[in-house]
Structure 1
Amino acid sequence: MSDNDPSVAPDSERAALRADCANCFGLCCVALTLTASADFAISKDAGEPCPNLQEDFRCGIHTALRPKGFSGCTVYDCFGAGQKVSQETYGGQDWRSAPDTAQQMFQVFPVVRQLQELLWYLTEALSLPAAGPLHAEIGRALEATERHTRRPAAELAGLDVAAHRDGVADLLRRVSTRVRATAPRRKKRGHRGADLMGARLKGADLRGADLRGAYLIAADLSGADLRLADVIGADFRDADLSGADLTDSLFLTQTQLNAARGNAATGLPGRLTRPTHWS
Structure 2
Amino acid sequence: MSLLQAILLGIIQGLTEFLPISSSAHLVIAPFLLNWQLDPQITFTFDVLVQNGTLVAVVIYFWKDLWAILRAFVLGLIHRQPFTDPDSRLGWFILLASLPAGILGISIKPLVEAAFNSILATGLFLGVTAVLLLVAEWLGRRNRPLESIRWLDALVMGFFQALAIFPGISRSGATISGGMLCNLNRRAAARFSFLMSVPIMLAAGGLETLDALKVPGSTHFLLPILAGFIAAAITGYLAIHWLLGYLQKHPLRWFAIYCLVAGGLTIAVYFLRG
Shared fold, TM over 0.5:
no
Q: Comparing both chains, which one has the higher relative contact order based on Cα–Cα distances under 8 Å and sequence gaps of 6 or more?
A: 2
TM-score normalised over the length of structure 2 = 0.29
Larger Rg: 1
Question: Of Structure 1 and Structure 2, which has the larger fraction of its residues in helix?
Answer: 2
